[in-house]
Amino acid sequence: MSEEKSTCNFGEHLMIDGYDGDEKKLNNKEIILSCLEELPEKIGMRKIADPEIYSAPDNDIKDPGGWSGFVVIAESHISIHTFPARKFASIDAYSCKNGMDVNFILNYFKEKFDFQEMEDNFVKRGTKYPKFNIV
């Protein structure tokens, strides 16, 4: 038997910026925690640790403070950073599992935080990741 080397992409990374969201929801620790608790299962991923969430103070630059939370999943991670005073959030979903349901995730966060506008960037990560096939 010989090994034939080919490549595949390692994973997928969805980056979301949500604008003009509900300030109270963006400042609600329980809503953010519930997103990190329930979203992995909804998108077919497995948590390997409980979500962590922290109050992030104002940094005296452009960040007026908010919440930062993340959950480590077997497939990578999901993170949420909210800035309630700016009605803004920065969210990442990164997975080594291919076939991410981008529209589901976008709609999920739009509903959770009532964003009026969203930007998203979807990147295939590790596009030269080696995959070894036994021939």
Q: Is 81 a catalytic residue?
A: yes
Q: Which CATH number fits domain 3-134: 3.60.90.10, 3.40.50.150, 3.30.210.10, 1.10.3730.10?
A: 3.60.90.10
Say what the pLDDT of residue 132 is.
66
Q: Please give the model's pTM, rounded to 2 decimal places.
A: 0.87
Domain positions in the chain are 3-134
CA distance 83 to 58: 10
pLDDT one digit per residue (tens) for the chain, 135 residues: 444 555 578 889 999 999 999 999 999 999 999 999 999 999 999 999 999 999 988 877 777 889 999 999 998 999 999 999 999 999 999 998 888 999 999 999 999 999 999 999 999 988 887 876 645
Q: Which of 35, 76, 79, 95 is catalytic?
A: 76
Contact indicator for 119, 16 with CB cutoff of 8 Å: yes
For residue 57, give the amino acid letter: P
Q: Is 76 a catalytic residue?
A: yes
Q: Is 77 a catalytic residue?
A: no
